[in-house]
Amino acid sequence: MRRDVFQAIADPTRREILGMIAREKLNLNSVAENFPVSRPAISRHIKILTECGLVTIKQLGRERFCEANLESLNQVSEWIDQYRIF
């Protein structure tokens, strides 16, 4: 399934995850600790963010760290800009 940035930001949990990792790199467990859902549920959200190009996962030793890649959000900004005149 091909995903785009709009699908990624459509979910409030994914927006919150993105905001967290935009501030600092976090491992998967650190992200999951902030939500009242299971670790696998958070992993699915992160997978979607990764498929959309908003997050990259880097292995550091035994840990996997999430890092934000916010350039893809330019698509959203450009889309919104066309409606600013209204």
Asked whether the predicted pLDDT for residue 1 surpasses 70, the reply is no
SS3 2: coil
Q: How large is the average pLDDT for residues 11-32?
A: 95
- pLDDT for the residue numbered 4: 87
Residues 23 and 49: their CA atoms lie apart, in Å, by 16
CA dist 66 to 1, 30, 34, 53, Å?
22, 10, 14, 12
DSSP symbol at 71: G
Determine the pLDDT at residue 72. 87
The residue among 72 and 66 whose pLDDT is bigger is: 66
pLDDT in tens, 24-66: 999 999 999 999 999 999 999 999 999 999 999 999 899 999 9
- Two tokens, residue 49: 């963010």
Domain definitions of the chain by residue range: 5-81
Average pLDDT, the chain: 92
β-pair partners for 26: 66
- Per-residue pLDDT at 10: 94
- The fold for domain 5-81 equals Arc Repressor Mutant, subunit A (1.10.10)
